[in-house]
Amino acid sequence: MLLGRTLDTRMLALQRQGRVGFYGAATGQEAVNVAAGLASGPSEWVLPGLREQLVALVRGHPLDLYLHHLFADARDPSRGRNMPCHPSAREVHYVSMSSVIGTQISHAVGVALAQRRRRDPGVTLAFFGDGATSSNDFHAGLNFAAVTSAPVLFLCTNNQWAISVPVGRQTAAATLAGKAAAYGLEGRQVDGTDLFAVYEALSTALGRIRSGGPPELIEFVLYRLTPHSSSDDPTRYQPADWAARARAHDPVARLERWLTDQRVLDPEAQARLSIEVDAEIRRSIADAEGTPPPPPESITEDVLAPAPSPGP
Ligand X SMILES: Cc1ncc(C[n+]2csc(CCOP(=O)(O)OP(=O)(O)O)c2C)c(N)n1
Q: Report the residue from 4, 84, 129, 192 that binds Mg ion according to the rule CB under 5 A.
A: 129
User: Which residue in the set 50, 111, 152, 176 belongs to the binding site for ligand X (CB under 6 A)?
Assistant: 50
Q: Which is nearer to Mg ion, 145 or 162 (CB)?
A: 162
Asked whether position 15 contacts Mg ion by CB under 5 A, the answer is no
Contact by Cβ (8 Å): 217, 154: yes
Considering the rule CB under 6 A, would residue 274 count as an interface residue with ligand X?
no
Question: What's the rounded Cα separation, in Å, for the pair 297 and 244?
Answer: 49
Q: Which of 49, 141, 215, 294 binds ligand X (CB under 6 A)?
A: 49
Please tell me the distance from the alpha carbon of residue 217 to that of residue 200, in angstroms, as a whole number.
Answer: 14
- By the 8 A CB rule, do 31 and 50 touch? no
Q: Which is nearer to ligand X, 4 or 131 (CB)?
A: 131
Helix 251-261 vs helix 30-39: angle between axes, to the nearest 10 degrees? 70
- Considering the candidates 79, 86, 93, 228, report the single residue annotated as catalytic: 228
C-beta of 59 vs 86, nearer to ligand X? 86
19 catalytic? Reply is no
- Indicate if 228 belongs to the active site: yes
Q: Of Mg ion, ligand X, none, which one sits near residue 2, judging by CB under 5 to 8 A according to partner kind?
A: none
69 among known catalytic residues? no
Catalytic residue numbers read 224, 228, 237
What does the binding site for ligand X look like in residue numbers (CB under 6 A)? 49-51, 99-101, 129-132, 159, 161-163, 224, 228
